[in-house]
Amino acid sequence: MVKNKIRPKRKIIRRTCTGCGKVKEKKEMLRIVRTQDGDIKYDLIGKISGRGAYVCYDIGCVESAFKKKSVSKTLKKDVSKNLKDDIINIISKGEEKI
**Residues sharing a CB contact under 8 Å with residue 35, sequence separation 6 or more, in sequence order:** 41, 48, 49, 50
pLDDT score, position 24: 96
The answer as to whether 4 is a domain residue is no
pLDDT score, position 10: 85
pLDDT score, position 98: 42
- Tens of pLDDT, residues 51-90: 999 999 999 999 999 999 999 999 999 999 899 999 999 8
Q: Which pTM was predicted?
A: 0.82
Helix or strand holding residue 85 (H, E): helix 81-93
Q: Is 4 exposed, middle or buried (0-12, 13-18, 19+ CB in 10 A)?
A: exposed
pLDDT score, position 32: 96
The answer as to whether 9 is a domain residue is no
Do residues 32 and 15 lie in contact, with contact meaning Cβ atoms separated by under 8 Å?
no
Domain carrying residue 21: 15-93
Question: Order of strands, edge to edge, in the sheet holding 51-56?
Answer: 40-43, 29-34, 51-56
Whichever domain contains 88, its CATH number is 3.30.1230.10
